[in-house]
Amino acid sequence: QKEVEQNSGPLSVPEGAIASLNCTYSDRGSQSFFWYRQYSGKSPELIMFIYSNGDKEDGRFTAQLNKASQYVSLLIRDSQPSDSATYLCAVTGSGGYQKVTFGTGTKLQVIP
Amino acid sequence: DAGITQSPRHKVTETGTPVTLRCHQTENHRYMYWYRQDPGHGLRLIHYSYGVKDTDKGEVSDGYSVSRSKTEDFLLTLESATSSQTSVYFCAISESKAGEETQYFGPGTRLLVL
């Protein structure tokens, strides 16, 4: 079982819709959770982090964390073609914040 | 932009040759990391550093060594490159943001080992 799992996609949504990206993790001691966006040929860019159960909102992005279910998600409201990218979920394990484990990413396509 | 540069940005080399990749940061971050990214595997930690001359292994450290003689530079060396080390290599730094350590990435180095 992978430590951090994401559906590879592609996830296709129409412009203006809500995109929902999901991630599960196996280490119950995980402390912090991150979402990165990566455009093709570019480096990952941090867009959200969350460490408490519940929702965290930043502009069109909402991260949701449920530690009991070991589940973290990212919602993108009013999706735009510029949101088309691969979204990486990352988790800091119980071994310390230096060791961050990444999922393989979900490719999102926003259709104009 | 966390003030991270990587050099070279692209490199083609032959099996068995040594290769050194450089990561340079300008903001005095204590923690620096080397990752590789491959299709189907995502980003995997090779080595990281928590200070000058202080380094530790990640999950895929075999075949790689690192050095950090100055705060601003973190070097990754492939002693004898193999085709399995063809990958995109990212350097990252760790920065405290709102009480949480978050990682920011450099632009990456594309390495092709023939």
Q: How many helices and strands, by DSSP H and E, does chain A display?
A: 0, 11
Token pair belonging to A45: 């860019």
Q: Could you tell me if B108 lies within 8 Å of chain A, comparing CB atoms?
A: yes
Query: Does residue B51 belong to the interface with chain A, where contact is any CB pair within 8 Å?
Result: no
| Closest residue by Cα to residue A20 from A81, A48, A61, A68 | A61
* Averaged pLDDT of chain A: 92
Tokens of B48: 């990281």
Q: Which residues of A touch B33 (CB under 8 A)?
A: 98
Helix (H, G, I), strand (E, B) or coil at A87: strand
Are B101 and B1 a contacting pair, CB within 8 Å?
Answer: no
Q: What is the pLDDT of residue B106?
A: 97
Partner-chain residue, chosen from A34, A92, A105, that has the shortest CB–CB distance to B42:
A105
Q: What was the pLDDT predicted at A1? A: 59
Tokens 């480096």 label which residue?
A: A43
A103 closest CB neighbour out of B42, B100, B103: B42
Q: Which residues of A23-55 are buried (b: 16+ CB within 10 A; e: fewer)?
A: bbbebeebbbbbbbbbeeeebbebbbbbbeeee
* Residue range B10-31, pLDDT digits in tens: 999 999 999 999 999 999 999 9
CA triple B111-B43-B77, angle to 5 deg = 40
CA distance A97 to chain B (A): 7
Res A8: pLDDT: 87
Q: For B81-97, how does the pLDDT look when each residue is reduced to its tens digit (9 = 90+)?
A: 999 999 999 999 998 87
Residue B60 has a pLDDT of: 94
Cα–Cα distance for residue pair A81/B93, rounded to 1 Å = 29
Would you say B45 and B92 are in contact if contact means Cβ atoms under 8 Å apart? no
Contact check, Cβ <8 Å, B100/A49? yes
DSSP A83: G
Compute how many other C-beta atoms are within 10 angstroms of the C-beta atom of residue A4: 23
Percent of chain A with pLDDT over 90: 79
pLDDT band of B111, cuts 50, 70, 90: very high
- Residue B89: the pLDDT is 98
Peptide bond into A14 cis (omega under 30): no
CB atoms B43 and A92 under 8 Å: no
Which strand ranges, in their side-by-side order, compose the sheet holding B73-78? B4-7, B19-25, B73-78, B64-70
